Structure 1
Amino acid sequence: MLNGESTIYSLHENTKRVLASLSKIPTAGAVLRKIPVTTRFKTQILGGKVTDEGVLDGDLYLKGGADPGFVSETMWVLVNNLSRSGLKHVKGNIVVDDTLFDKNYISDSRQNVRVDRAYDAPVSAMSFNWNSVNICVRPGEGAGKDARVVLDPPNKYVQLVNNAKTSKDGSKLNISVERKPVEPFGDRLEVNGTIPVGYGEKIIYKNISSPTLWSGYNLQAFLDQRGIKVDGSVRDGKVGGNSEVLAEVESWPLSSIVSDMMKFSSNYVAEMLTKHLSGPSEDKVGNMKEGLDRIREFIADAGVSKSDFVFDSPSGFNRNNQMSAKDLAKVLESIRDDFRLYPEFLTSLPISGYDGTLKNRMTSPNVQGWVRAKTGMLNGVIGLAGFAGRKSGQVLTFVFIYNGSADMYKVRDFFDNLSETLVL
């Protein structure tokens, strides 16, 4: 715990520990320092000349600018912009171009075991809805009837198999969803189990396996909603040489994207932004290796010896990232001392009792709103690090990291109590 340059209290401050999602602190710092905070990423639709009758006699291209926040609302705006071009009929295919980044959709920096949960989604320069699909399950008309299952958003990329049934009122919810890739494209989602009468709705989030095709088929669905017909199929490829921009949409500014990463601890956004750190362009693909090098440089610039830390994952979704509490505090202090990025960094952190991963923690009046900190959790790892305001006007920098076998929730509560002590 630091007050300016003086340490108020330390315990095992020099012991290297697994960071988990506290890793996103140096990731956010590096991104905010090396990329202008007002940067916006463009997603474009391109093609040849549209005739007066609204016909495109060729392929329609969806070119990704690696916007981590490209979601249904953004796609709607993009297609709405396209509709003003007068396009009504595409005689070719939808071709998805994600060549701004490399094709290593699943980073080697993650844990070795793959899962179909949303937090393990692939990363591509053309991604949609965080490369995850929502499976919404509701009870049917009565016990024994099929459950009602809806995909959000609906599209032809996903094959849905609904084996779920409605159970009697008061019975236990028991719904599961399994995702499997399907050749030659797409994913198959199989919904099993039971949902009781009167339950309401259960939403399950699953990642998808092919970001380009997922994005392309969702574009096709949005085009169909606007009455724009596409004769061909969806495939990945590169924008043709004679194409022109027919429509485009910009992302939120970088500062807002970093805030999403920090407040909701998004592994997906962390990896996207790290590939942006590598400096992708028309002549160079964004990649994880060079992005990680930029983050390591940022850590070293904060005064941490390169021999004293290991940083292999921008999200902390592994057990390799290790650093001492003292050195992570140096990183936080270097951010605090840099006016170019500190305001946006501070704003990005979850606020005790109000939002993000701290929304339901430290909710008592004594501490609510007084702590802004990043959380971290893996099996056997709990972390909390950031800044605590005091009613005297002081602002303290603190880092709490635990690695061990104790009850994780008891450790988490202990860290919350320590934070409240800082505020008082």
Structure 2
Amino acid sequence: YQFETRVSATGIVKDGVLQGDLVITGGSDPFFVWEEAIALGNSLNQLGIRRVTGNLVIIGNFTMNDQDNPEIAGGLLKQALKSSSWSWQIVRQYQSMAKGTEKPQLEIAGNVVVSDTPIPKQEYLLLHKSLPLVDILREMNIYSNNDVSQMLSQAIGGAQTTARLAARSAGVPSSEIQLINGSGLGMENRISPRAACAMLMAIERFLQPYQLNLRDVFPLAGRDTKGTMLDRNIPQGAVVKTGTLREVSALAGFLPTRDRGLVWFAIINGGNDILEFRAKQDQLLQRLSVEWGTLTQKSSNQTHKPLIIGDPKRIEKISSALLIENKK
């Protein structure tokens, strides 16, 4: 699955100038970042658009760089489209993109305007597709990105809907999954150890028909070394999800073993010494791995291709030939 963001115009393009508004219709993409905006700007330049006389109009659920306020997100997009106005943060992200990537130059004369209603008489220019959801989920879990988690929860109806669906899929009482938001931030969010294991097992079952498994959407020890896996000593092959909130440290997942197969676990520690808790969690899993034997996983998804953030191949040009009028 990929989230879609549509780009359209309310006027014709003549001599590089869009005589009207540039309209962005958001589709709840939680991973629209600087690189994606740069690629979008380059695609608009390739259509021959270098200036917009009207406004940048935001419709629907459009977020950028974890900003869910559409006016702020629109302002970030407007800045990214015009390379001469880039901040050092944008320059840094641009430098991580493929060598030879162009710098977009698209000036929007008007303001960022948020609209609650569809704009009549708009012509579609581009269709931007997000990273595949499986990649977004893996990155979210590796780096424990609370903002992305919150946006995904909102996309399916909010915290209560998320909790209800999770309890039903895991087959546990609703009282064992209590959520006040989708980010996990807040002591009022409570999940029992049994529910944590049951949810992970349910996700594994759900993914199987798609030729996927937990390794595709959660950190894998031995493969992932950044984010929440930095400085951890978890046995290789274990798939885990960490959780830290002030005086709580948690670790859940499965440990592949020779004698007992996949051992599902949830460890929750309460107190002040978070680093000590993490070390003890790792030591426990290492002892279990020695006791029950390690299991070499023969799986095609032990590794995954590096993500290409800002990949222009995910942007489709759908402009009408009648929309573009070039000087003859």
Which category of TM-score, normalised to the shorter sequence, fits these structures? 0.7 to 0.9
Q: State which of 209, 212, 216 in structure 1 corresponds to 2:73.
A: 212
Q: Alpha carbon RMSD of aligned pairs, Å?
A: 2.7
Give the paired residue count: 269
Does structure 1 residue 260 correspond to structure 2 residue 139? yes
- Structure 2 counterpart of 1:128, which letter? M
Q: State which of 166, 169, 174 in structure 2 corresponds to 1:306.
A: 174
* 3-state DSSP of counterpart to 1:129: coil
How many angstroms apart in 1 are the aligned matches of 2:254 and 2:108?
53
Q: What is the match of residue 109 of structure 2? A: 231
Give CA deviations for 1:91-135 in whole Å, capped at 9, x if unaligned. Answer: 1122222x2xxxxxxxxxxxxxxxxxxxxxxxxx2222233xxxx
Does structure 1 residue 80 correspond to structure 2 residue 42? yes
Q: How far apart are residue 383 of structure 1 and its match?
A: 0.2
Q: How far apart are residue 65 of structure 1 and its match?
A: 1.6
* 3-state DSSP of counterpart to 1:362: coil
Does structure 1 residue 47 correspond to structure 2 residue 9? yes
How many angstroms apart in 1 are the aligned matches of 2:124 and 2:83?
18
How many angstroms apart in 2 are the aligned matches of 1:208 and 1:48?
23
Q: What is the match of residue 126 of structure 1? A: 62
Greater helix content: 2
TM-score with structure 2 setting the length? 0.73
Q: What is the match of residue 421 of structure 1? A: 287
Q: What is the match of residue 362 of structure 1? A: 233
* 3-state DSSP of counterpart to 2:178: coil
How many angstroms apart in 2 are the aligned matches of 1:70 and 1:414?
37
Does structure 1 residue 276 correspond to structure 2 residue 155? yes
| 1:154-303 mapped onto 2 (5 Å cutoff) | 211-222=72-83, 226-238=104-116, 239-278=118-157, 288=158, 292-303=160-171
Q: Is the CA contact (8 Å cut-off) linking 2:63 and 2:69 kept in structure 1? A: no
User: Alpha carbons of 1:410 and 1:226: their partners in 2 closer, same or farther (altered >3 Å)?
Assistant: closer
- Structure 1 counterpart of 2:23, which letter? Y
Q: How far apart are residue 377 of structure 1 and its match?
A: 0.7
Q: State which of 193, 217, 226 in structure 2 corresponds to 1:348.
A: 217
- Structure 2 counterpart of 1:361, which letter? R
Q: Is the CA contact (8 Å cut-off) linking 1:370 and 1:390 kept in structure 2? A: no
Does structure 1 residue 398 correspond to structure 2 residue 265? yes
Does structure 1 residue 319 correspond to structure 2 residue 156? no
Q: Is the CA contact (8 Å cut-off) linking 2:154 and 2:182 kept in structure 1? A: no
* 3-state DSSP of counterpart to 1:415: helix
Q: How far apart are residue 406 of structure 1 and its match?
A: 4.5
Q: How far apart are residue 210 of structure 1 and its match?
A: 5.2
How many angstroms apart in 1 are the aligned matches of 2:195 and 2:231?
28
User: Alpha carbons of 1:341 and 1:325: their partners in 2 closer, same or farther (altered >3 Å)?
Assistant: farther
Q: What is the match of residue 181 of structure 1? A: none
Q: What is the match of residue 189 of structure 1? A: none
Structure 1 residue runs without a partner (length 5+)? 1-38, 100-124, 132-206, 279-287
How many angstroms apart in 2 are the aligned matches of 1:209 and 1:73?
18
Q: What is the match of residue 411 of structure 1? A: 277
Give CA deviations for 1:178-213 in whole Å, capped at 9, x if unaligned. Answer: xxxxxxxxxxxxxxxxxxxxxxxxxxxxx9995334
Q: How far apart are residue 76 of structure 1 and its match?
A: 1.8
Q: Which has the higher contact order (CA 8 A, sep 6+)?
A: 1
* 3-state DSSP of counterpart to 1:95: strand
- Structure 1 counterpart of 2:253, which letter? G
Q: Is the CA contact (8 Å cut-off) linking 2:37 and 2:81 kept in structure 1? A: no
Q: Is the CA contact (8 Å cut-off) linking 2:214 and 2:239 kept in structure 1? A: no
How many angstroms apart in 1 are the aligned matches of 2:274 and 2:104?
50
Q: Is the CA contact (8 Å cut-off) linking 2:82 and 2:106 kept in structure 1? A: no
User: Alpha carbons of 1:422 and 1:46: their partners in 2 closer, same or farther (altered >3 Å)?
Assistant: same
- Structure 1 counterpart of 2:212, which letter? P
